[in-house]
Amino acid sequence: MSVIRGIGAPTRWLQCAAHHSKRRCYASAATAASSLPADFRNAIEKEASLPTPDPPSDSQTARIVGTHTQYMVPTYVRPPPMFHKGEGCYLWDVENRQYLDFTAGIAVNALGHCDPEMSKILYQQSQTLVHCSNLYYNPWTGALSELLVEKTRESGAMKDVGKVFVCNSGSEANEAAIKFARKCGKEAQPDGSKTELVSFQGSFHGRTMGALSATPNPKYQKPFAPMIPGFKYGTYNDIDGINNLVTEKTCGVIIEPIQGEGGVNVATHEFLLALRKRCTEVGAVLIYDEIQCGLSRTGTLWAHADLPPEAHPDILTTAKALGNGYPIGATLVTDEVSSKIKTGDHGTTFGGNPLACRVAHYMVSRLSEKELQQDVLKKEAQFREHFVALRKRFLEVVQEVRGRGLILGLQLTSDPTPVITAARERGLLIITCGTNTLRFVPPLVISHDEIDKGMAILGDAMDAVFNKPEHVKGTPGQQEMG
């Protein structure tokens, strides 16, 4: 065994015989190494005391990352661990350390990681037919479309739903919605006077140019300006501003019933009713983006299902949980909107392929189950009980709780990234959104015991950040757009 080669290698010096416990090994070595410089002692004590400390610079993870990143466009800032395996609500990194996942791939893995039936479907369909293009029919595109329409009607949502366009992602679903709204405006006013689109501050609709143009955050738009012309931005939940915002020139309005990336902000029923009324008055298409909040994350199939029919949308977009990690998106439209779309107006090469659609057919079947939806509401109540306890424990830190079902936000008074790091190093994955908000979007199948376990870890992490003298540094890269 070689001795320390440099400042970044305390863990290499501390390795013991393979049959010994790793943590016992670190702890005993930390005691023996009390004469080491402070940096070494701190690193040793950290690895001895934390169940999942971030991999150090001399780790296998760091070596793999260092090799790979030189070939990757740097569009993300990632924390140190590298994950290679998942099961249920857990992930394992390449150091074989286990993490409880409260992120679900950003509200994607609704049935958890590597759902057994989904894995079986992927295997079976990959041996039958993966892709043949939209030049030809396949059994699963139509079957998925039919199921989406039927289950949406059964749920009491989108009363006039009639047709579905299947694509590959949430951004593509919103691009289709934007194009369909523009086409409806052109059909209503062939002179081109009805082409404006409205979205709202705090929204996130995607990264492609149309969806990005509907996402009014200068941080994200400025590097790619100018945006597509014709977009206007309003204030979320501002009823008084609707009439001046949505006019005869408006062809479409796109809104998230619950803003995910923007901070888990919930649209009021009164606001959505007023917005629907104004869209009807001026002949504008109303689009609900339920890519993050839909597919039973709120305890109903769609987040707007508890609204009266007069507040329902003309277009509904979905993705994320639709594939449980396999890329797919969909745009649901009324027959009225569909009647404006002609052959050749829109298309996709991969969208609607039989593999993705068969997976999504299974997902919609599972996520529309009443028992699963009722469990989501029970789990929401359990989370809220823990939030009450955290608020009592951290009076100066926790401000409020927002959201519904299992899309919840805990508003803090300060930067939450140190909490994210401290939680991760204790075995819990969680992400942020908006400004100083912790976002909770776990798999919908998370157990009550796992909720208790994760919230206990979060409490310990917050205690380490806010009540202990040592400083926990935050790791960047914890938001979808960050």
Phi, psi angle pair for 412, to nearest 5°: -110, 165
283 has pLDDT over 60: yes
Read off the pLDDT of residues 173-204 as tens digits, 9 standing for 90 and up.
999 999 999 999 999 999 999 999 999 999 99
Predicted pLDDT at 270: 98
**Do 213 and 246 form a contact (C-beta atoms < 8 A)?**
no
Phi, psi angle pair for 124, to nearest 5°: -65, -45
**Do 296 and 263 form a contact (C-beta atoms < 8 A)?**
no
Is 320 in the active site?
A: yes
**Do 434 and 409 form a contact (C-beta atoms < 8 A)?**
yes
The catalytic residue among 102, 165, 200, 204 is 204
Beta partners for residue 331, in sequence order: 165, 317
Look at residues 82, 104, 101 and name the one whose alpha carbon lies nearest to residue 91. 101
Predicted pLDDT at 468: 82
Q: What is the DSSP letter of 96?
A: -
Q: How far apart are CA 125 and CA 121, in angstroms?
A: 6
Read off the pLDDT of residues 357-402 as tens digits, 9 standing for 90 and up.
999 999 999 999 999 999 999 999 999 999 999 999 999 999 999 9
Q: Which two tokens stand for residue 226?
A: 């100018």
482 has pLDDT over 90: no
**Do 335 and 163 form a contact (C-beta atoms < 8 A)?**
yes
Q: Which two tokens stand for residue 85?
A: 């395996």
Under the banding of pLDDT at 50, 70 and 90, the label for residue 43 is low
The catalytic residue among 58, 289, 314, 375 is 289
Taking the chain, what is the end-to-end CA distance rounded to the nearest angstrom? 42
Under the banding of pLDDT at 50, 70 and 90, the label for residue 49 is confident
Mean pLDDT of 58-78: 95
Read off the pLDDT of residues 14-30 as tens digits, 9 standing for 90 and up.
333 333 334 434 344 43
Q: How far apart are CA 31 and CA 44, in angstroms?
A: 9
Q: How far apart are CA 411 and CA 365, in angstroms?
A: 34
Mean pLDDT of 409-438: 97
Q: Which residues contact 41 (CB under 8 A, 6 or more apart)?
A: 30, 33, 34
Q: How far apart are CA 44 and CA 443, in angstroms?
A: 34
Mean pLDDT of 36-57: 73
Is 238 in the active site?
A: no
Read off the pLDDT of residues 134-188 as tens digits, 9 standing for 90 and up.
999 999 999 999 999 999 999 999 999 999 999 999 999 999 999 999 999 999 9
37 has pLDDT over 90: no
Read off the pLDDT of residues 242-278 as tens digits, 9 standing for 90 and up.
999 999 999 999 999 999 999 999 999 999 999 999 9
Predicted pLDDT at 11: 38
Q: Which two tokens stand for residue 409?
A: 């936000």
The catalytic residue among 320, 383, 440, 466 is 320
For the chain, percent helix, then strand, then coil, each to nearest 5? 40, 15, 40
